[in-house]
Amino acid sequence: MPNKLLLVASENKKLERIVTKSKLTRPIVQRYVAGTTLAEALDVTEQLNSVGIDVSLDLLGESVHDLKQSEAATAEYIRVIEGMAPRSASATVSVKLSQLGIVISSESCEKNLRRLLEAARAHGCEVEVDMEHSSVGRETLEIFRRSHAEYPETRVAIQACMRSTFQDLYEFGDNPPKIRLVKGAFDEKVDVAILDRDDVTAQYQHFAKWALANLPDPAFGTHDDACIETVKQTARELGIDKRAFEFQMLQGVRRELQEQLVREGYRVRVYLPYGTEWYPYLTRRMAEKPANLLLFLRSVVGS
């Protein structure tokens, strides 16, 4: 699926330092990232809201490796919620459990997540739990599952490429969660994930139909015309209202399509990252979009 070299690059710390300092990466960063501060991100949020697009704010940063950092990230996320709530009624926050310390301690990560969910609820906004590499994916889902009964408004990202996806969802039983269906952007092995590109697309479409028929308020995280068409058509066939689900896309990707879907009456939410730790996020985006690869490589070589 995504470019493997770039996925490896996304975890290379030395390369991260070089690329982050390079001025040549600035145009790419500006396209995909809403800025380095919450204030900038909230300005972009309002711009998007003004054309009918919802956002999900993502504080960049992943794989925190000590408790202090994970608590700082949690506190920062609570500030995001506090800053966001009065400016955008529909905004959500997207959080990676690796940022909340899943690698250090599952227990403290869960505690951090619950603090976040409580703060979000107090401010009338919702949280979306991003999915990460399978090395933490199952634990992410288990922590999410334990909070789900208490906070059913929370959404979790589910990857169509993963072989366990249906099992994972069925294990919720009669009370399935809100999901954001994505194809999957991590470098996974064939034993846990479907790797063939066309098969993943078909799997996404298959799952999308199932989600529309079986899950509450599903979100479809995709820029793929074929997948979007499947969602639209299935919703029509099942008589599902255009406002009973949503499309999610990344900041900087297919803006015209986003606005077109809004004009057609669909809900659209843009995943809006901000912060300074954009390197792993952007290398994954580059891995998905080969057209940007040359620009990106030039920024590495030029530094």
Shortest distance (Å) from residue 61 CB to a second copy: 32
Element (H, E) at 54: strand 54-59
The region, left, alpha or beta by phi > 0 then psi within -120 to 50, assigned to residue 184 is left
Number of residues that bind a second copy (CB under 8 A): 18
The structure tokens 């208490």 sit at 150
* Footprint (CB under 8 A) of a second copy, residues 212-231: none
Contact call for residue 84 and a second copy (CB under 8 A): no
Contact call for residue 159 and a second copy (CB under 8 A): no
Residue 129 phi, psi (nearest 5): -95, 115
Q: Which is closer to a second copy, CB of 230 or CB of 299?
A: 230
Contact call for residue 150 and a second copy (CB under 8 A): no
The structure tokens 């697009």 sit at 53
Active site residue 66: no
- Cα–Cα nearest to 129, from 158, 170, 166: 158
Shortest distance (Å) from residue 207 CB to a second copy: 8
* Footprint (CB under 8 A) of a second copy, residues 161-200: 163-164, 166-167, 170, 190-192, 194-196, 198-199
Contact call for residue 202 and a second copy (CB under 8 A): yes
Please answer whether residues 142 and 171 qualify as being in contact, where contact means their C-beta atoms are separated by less than 8 angstroms: no
**CB-count burial class (<10 Å; 0-12, 13-18, 19+) for 102:** buried
Q: Which is closer to a second copy, CB of 124 or CB of 173?
A: 173
Shortest distance (Å) from residue 290 CB to a second copy: 21
Q: Which of 54, 155, 180, 269 is labelled catalytic?
A: 180
Active site residue 130: yes
Q: Which is closer to a second copy, CB of 147 or CB of 203?
A: 203
Shortest distance (Å) from residue 164 CB to a second copy: 7
Q: Which residues contact 123 (CB under 8 A, 6 or more apart)?
A: 81, 82, 84, 85
Q: Which is closer to a second copy, CB of 166 or CB of 254?
A: 166
Which token pair is 93?
């926050």
Q: Which residues contact 233 (CB under 8 A, 6 or more apart)?
A: none
Binding residues for a second copy, rule: CB under 8 A, are 163-164, 166-167, 170, 190-192, 194-196, 198-199, 202-203, 205-206, 210
Which residues are catalytically annotated? Answer: 130, 180
